[in-house]
C-alpha cells in the first residue's frame, strides 16, 4: 500500500468516525439504553481496532525499521530525519504518534539528541514518551532524562530522576547504575549522607551487579 493510499484511508476513517460521533451525540440515549446498545458499542470498538488501530500499528512498525538500523549504525542524523526514501524517527512520531512504534520513536529520538549533545531536545522528546509496562524501557527513559539534566548542570533534578529510575526498575542492571550515578552527583554537591544512602542500597540490594564489586571504595570516600 502506498503512503498516499494509506493516508487516504486514514482520512476516510477520520471522516467516518466524525460522522459516527455526531450520530452518537444525537442518539446517545437510544444507543446506550436500547436493548442492543452495549453490544453495538463493543462491535464498534472491535471494528475500530481491526480496521484502524491494527493496520496503523503495522505501518508504524514497518516505517520505524530503517530508522532503527541507522540508529544502530550510529548515524543519528539519518535516524532522526530519514534519507528521503525511508522515514526517520521524527516523521514516525508525526505520522504514527498514537501507536506503540510512535511512542518508542520518541525514546529513540531522545537517545539520538542526547548522543549529539542536544540535551534539551532530548528532554522534550522524553516528555512526549509515554511510560510502558516494562521494567527496563520506562526506567531507562527516566534515567536518560536524569543524565540529560546532569549534562545541563541541573544536578538536584538529575539525582531525583536517577533515584526514581532505580526504584521503578528494581533490578541488577538499571538500579545499581542509577544509584551509583546519583551517589556521585550527591558527592559532587557535598551531600555525602545522600550519596552514602545510594551506595549502601547497592551494597545491600544489588549484590549480583557489577557496581557491587567496587562500591566499598565509594562508601569509604563518603566517610
Each residue's pLDDT expressed in tens, for the chain with a length of 223 residues:
444 444 444 444 444 444 444 444 444 444 334 444 444 444 333 333 343 335 557 777 778 889 899 999 999 999 999 998 899 999 999 988 888 888 889 999 999 999 999 999 999 999 999 887 777 889 999 999 999 999 999 999 999 999 999 999 999 999 999 999 999 999 999 999 999 999 999 999 999 999 999 999 999 998 7
Q: Give the closest residue to 189 by CA, choosing from 214, 154, 217, 220.
A: 154
Per-residue pLDDT at 33: 41
Phi-psi region of 99 (alpha: psi -120 to 50; beta: other; left: phi over 0): beta
Distances (CA, A) of 79 to 57, 65, 96: 19, 10, 16
**Whether 120 contacts 136, CB under 8 Å:** no
What whole-number distance in Å separates Cα of residue 117 and Cα of residue 76? 11
Q: Give the closest residue to 189 by CA, choosing from 160, 148, 220.
A: 160
Q: Give the closest residue to 133 by CA, choosing from 124, 141, 125.
A: 141
Question: Which run of H or of E encompasses 31?
Answer: helix 3-33
Q: CB atoms < 10 A from the CB of 162, how many?
A: 31
Per-residue pLDDT at 29: 45
Task: Using CA atoms of 121, 123, 129, 134 in order, give the dihedral in degrees to the nearest 10.
Answer: 130
Question: What domains can be seen in the chain, in order of their start residue?
Answer: 1-116 (no CATH), 131-223 (1.25.40.10)
Q: Give the closest residue to 177 by CA, choosing from 151, 135, 139, 150.
A: 139
Amino acid at each position: 500500500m502506498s503512503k498516499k493510499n494509506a493516508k487516504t484511508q486514514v482520512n476516510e476513517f477520520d471522516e467516518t468516525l466524525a460522522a459516527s460521533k455526531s450520530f452518537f451525540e444525537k442518539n446517545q440515549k437510544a444507543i446506550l439504553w436500547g436493548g442492543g446498545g452495549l453490544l453495538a458499542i463493543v462491535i464498534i470498538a472491535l471494528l475500530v481496532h481491526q480496521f484502524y488501530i491494527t493496520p496503523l500499528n503495522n505501518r508504524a512498525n514497518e516505517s520505524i525499521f530503517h530508522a532503527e538500523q541507522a540508529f544502530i549504525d550510529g548515524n543519528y542524523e539519518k535516524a532522526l530525519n530519514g534519507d528521503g526514501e525511508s522515514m526517520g524517527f521524527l516523521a514516525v512520531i508525526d505520522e504514527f504518534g498514537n501507536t506503540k512504534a510512535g511512542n518508542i520513536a520518541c525514546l529513540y529520538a531522545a537517545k539520538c539528541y542526547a548522543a549529539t549533545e542536544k540535551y534539551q531536545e532530548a528532554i522534550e522528546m522524553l516528555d512526549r514518551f509515554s511510560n510502558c509496562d516494562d521494567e527496563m524501557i520506562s526506567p531507562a527513559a527516566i534515567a536518560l532524562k536524569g543524565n540529560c539534566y546532569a549534562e545541563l548542570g541541573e544536578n538536584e533534578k538529575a539525582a531525583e530522576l536517577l533515584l526514581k529510575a532505580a526504584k521503578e526498575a528494581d533490578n541488577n542492571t538499571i538500579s545499581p547504575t542509577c544509584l551509583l550515578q546519583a551517589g556521585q552527583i550527591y558527592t559532587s554537591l557535598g551531600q555525602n549522607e545522600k550519596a552514602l544512602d545510594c551506595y549502601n542500597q547497592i551494597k545491600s540490594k544489588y549484590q549480583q551487579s557489577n557496581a557491587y564489586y567496587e562500591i566499598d571504595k565509594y562508601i569509604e570516600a563518603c566517610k
